[in-house]
Structure 1
Amino acid sequence: MAYSTALSQGISILLYIHGIAEEHCNNFLSTKVISEQLNIPVPTTVKVIRNLNNARLTIAKEGAKGGILLARPLAEITLLDVFLAVEPGKALFKIHTDVTLQGKEVDEVKQKIADSLQAAEIAMQNRLQETYLIDLMG
């Protein structure tokens, strides 16, 4: 199973907001500008930003001078934070358990598959937790 591009889009959006805020003293950025500059369709940008807002990684302000700002510095946001924001509640691996075969051996194999995939998911989460967005800046 492959994830959507939402993780890389979320990372790009946060890095872009950071870069612009550094240059222009924390002006709120419009979703339209973010969409155009990062070449992400507006509906996708809106969805990703909504998830980032829900996770309190960004702050949204309505109105003429509204837009998006980072809620925290990049040094406090990990790749895992972004992943959990843009892929909320999704299991990393979907396990096929609807098999006709039955018995102790089948159950043992299914359990071994589940255990192996769970270990891989934990390893991925640990790795994402180790990298802060500031680490991605040049």
Structure 2
Amino acid sequence: MKPISSRFSIAVHILTLVSSSAQPCTWDFLAGSVYTNPVIIRKILGMLKKAGLVEVRAGTGGASLARPSSEITLLDVYRAVEAAAAEGLFSFHDHPNPACEIGRGIEDALQAELRAAQAALERSLAAATIEGLQGSILDGAV
């Protein structure tokens, strides 16, 4: 199975850092904390902006949250940066053999299980907020 890309963890890192800062965060500041290239930060900030999670000011204006961290769930972040959110987390192999008893029925039988697994993931992500994650980090609970 292809793992969820690092965009998700980077986006959560960015939002948690922006949430903890009293001032808008610059790309270079964010890139220094994430320890990655500012180009990656700009790309992910663009996705987060499109999703309405951050506001980005040109130049050295930096990024700030578009709504309170208590209202930004990890599911919001996942949907903002992962293509799998729209397509579904799991993909199925093309064209199982219809002449085979298992091949004929595997997709229908497995799809219900895969939908349930994705729903469980989404429920868990929906229950967690950037504010809660930030609190866990700052309280040393992790």
Identify the TM-score tier after normalising by the shorter chain: 0.7 to 0.9
Report the Cα distance in structure 2 between the residues aligned to 1:67 and 1:56, rounded to whole angstroms: 15
Tell me the distance in 2 between the aligned counterparts of 1:81 and 1:57.
Answer: 8
What's the CA shift for 1:48?
Answer: 1.0
Secondary structure in 2 matching 1:43: helix
Partner of 1:106: 103
Q: Deviations over 1:53-84 (max 9, x none)?
A: 00000001113x41111111111111100100
Deviation at 1:10, TM superposition (A): 0.6
Match of 2:28 among 27, 32, 45: 32
Cα deviation 1:4-36 (Å, max 9, x = unaligned)? 111111111011111112xxxxx3221122111
Say yes or no: does 1:70 pair with 2:65.
yes
Letter in 2 for 1:19: S
Q: CA deviation at 1:46?
A: 1.2
Q: Which residue of 1 aligns with 2:7?
A: 6
Q: Distance in 2 between matches of 1:87 and 1:130?
A: 18
Moved over 4 A (4+): none
Match of 2:48? Answer: 52
CA RMSD in angstroms comes to: 1.7
The gaps in structure 1 that reach 5 residues or longer are 22-26
Structure 2, unpaired ranges of 5+:
none
Which amino acid letter does the alignment assign opposite residue 92 of structure 1?
Answer: L
Scaled by the length of structure 1, the TM-score of the pair is 0.86
Number of aligned residues: 132
* 2: CA distance, partners of 1:45 / 1:73: 21
Match of 2:78 among 83, 88, 96: 83
Which amino acid in 2 is paired with 1:99?
A: P
The answer to whether the aligner puts 1:93 opposite 2:94 as a matched pair is no
* Distance (whole Å) between structure 2 residues aligned to residue 5 and residue 18 of structure 1: 20
Aligned to 1:24: none
- Paired-residue identity, %: 27
